[in-house]
Amino acid sequence: MSERTATVVIVGGGFGGLAAAKALRKTPARVFLIDRTNHHLFQPLLYQVATSVLTPEQIGSPLRGILRNQKNATVILGEVKGVDKESRRVIVDSADREGVPLSYDYLVLATGASHSYFGHNEFEKYAPGLKSLPDAVAIKSKILAAFEQAEAEDDPSRHKELLTFVLVGAGPTGVELAAAIAVLVRSSLKSEFRRIDPTSARIVLVDMANRVLGPFSEKLSADAKTRLEELGVEVLLGHGVDQIDENGVIVAGERITAKTVIWTAGVTPSPAGKWLGVETDRAGRVRVGKDVSVPGHPEVFVVGDTASFEQDGKPLPGVAQVAMQQGRYVGKSIHRRLVGRSPLPPFRYWDKGNMAVVGKGFAVLESGKVRLSGLLAWLVWGAVHLQFLAQRNLRMAVFLQWVWTGVTGQRGSRLIVSRPLASEDEPHLASGSNATTNRPLPANQPALSGDGR
Ligand SMILES: Cc1cc2nc3c(=O)[nH]c(=O)nc-3n(C[C@H](O)[C@H](O)[C@H](O)COP(=O)(O)OP(=O)(O)OC[C@H]3O[C@@H](n4cnc5c(N)ncnc54)[C@H](O)[C@@H]3O)c2cc1C
């Protein structure tokens, strides 16, 4: 390396990118962390924002704040659009500038994943996914608005459709969210409505697999399914969703009419593989070597959900621990190269286990030979999640909120702050139309609220 200070560019301030940046804190290099949002997001608790237990601020931390004491790190709010690996530059769009090149000596791509509708992108309009804070806030608004709309609806025959919630995908996100909606209706909402009974809500969890929580052992999957059913969630397994539209879903040829459908199925990696023009796996994740670098480009690393790393003949899963361990490893590798130390041994993932929560007081936990379900697993789940929140103040805020919600049933944020009645083509009540059918209100019937803005 020449005498000038080396530049390390990290794209993505999620679990992988942030771990890499922190591992470079004592490195004689300029570290640029670029993210299209200004915050690090603790995705495992997104479902709690979507069900109004926590507020967005409780699971997201400004990247600038997290790295404020790391003098060699500069945070850039911008969206990377491509990489020119020959001239070693990333191309960034920021607020008012497009295609700005930023040179690097080392590049770490940690750009995560987004939803995959398995080729049915038309489903997205009716079935939003849960990946970001805006997604969680939109889903929360959609869920709460469905109850509001049912309460305001004079025709009781429409209540069933309004209070049916379908979740497509019974992996950890689907299971956690379905259980959390069930808890929401049976606790906080239960006594607050006069014309509807929130506990009559129908919550349906659909998956084409034959069990929920595929990555877990069969016993824990079965425990989770039993728990979901105790909470009143209908679990439909072994059937894919044939259709999702404005009226709900069609599963195994049968229509489930539902106002709210949420996509909790697949994910697809970021386009890092396309930017680099390198080999990817079938899912589109960049195949990386034993040191997590891109073959033929020892200065480019790809970590986390957007990387494909094989260990013992199997690809590593897309979980936070993999991203953090790879990010840390890559940060340390770059450090050692820059200070002239010998390279690290090949990367090896240490699997500490899997957890999923199924409503209040119940989780499943698998770690090595340990398999637990129930209250103890839930306590461990709580402790581990608190520990991994990015900042100490968030740990305290989330802990206090959990205790408060547990004791009083009161939630962090029940405000509907995005578009009240969700879909673009449905004028809401205040605009003078019936909210879901676009039938005009009778002339003598006033709009129920607001001034239509
Ligand atoms: C709802 C949900 C629940 C989950 N629950 C768990 C769980 O309980 N346990 C677990 O281990 N894992 C869980 N995961 C998975 C875990 O969150 C991911 O595996 C992990 O976040 C991957 O880390 P990453 O660094 O690869 O990507 P991310 O953490 O997703 O970070 C990617 C970052 O890159 C930024 N970015 C993307 N593209 C660009 C671009 N072009 N330019 C600039 N910035 C960009 C994004 O804004 C983001 O900040 C969950 C995921 C979701 C969505």
Atom of ligand 1 nearest to the CA of 47: 1
Exposure of 404 by Cβ count < 10 A (0-12 exposed, 13-18 middle, 19+ buried)? Answer: middle
Angle between helices 375-388 and 392-408 (to 10 degrees): 150
Contact yes or no for 79/356 (Cβ under 8 A): no
Which H or E element spans position 57? helix 56-59
Q: Is 44 in the pocket of ligand 1 (CB under 6 A)?
A: yes
The model's pTM is 0.90
Task: Kindly name the residue from 148, 153, 161, 176 that is annotated as catalytic.
Answer: 176
Distance CA 247, CA 239 (A): 19
Please report the atom of ligand 1 found closest to the CA of residue 113.
30
Q: What are the pLDDT digits (tens) for 272-305?
A: 999 999 999 999 999 999 999 999 999 999 999 9
Q: Which of 15, 61, 66 to mutate to test the pocket of ligand 1 (most atoms within 8 A of CB)?
A: 15
Positions in the chain short of pLDDT 50: 1-2, 420-453
Is residue 234 annotated as a catalytic residue, yes or no?
Answer: no
- Whether 36 is in the pocket of ligand 1, judged by its Cβ within 6 Å, is yes
Q: What is the pLDDT of residue 418?
A: 66
3 state SS for 188-210? CCCCCCCCCCHHHCEEEEEECCC
Q: What angle do the packed helices 172-186 and 218-230 form, to 10 degrees?
A: 20
Is beta strand 314-315 parallel, antiparallel or unpaired with respect to 310-311?
antiparallel
Q: What are 180-212's pLDDT values in tens digits? A: 999 999 988 888 899 999 999 999 999 999 999
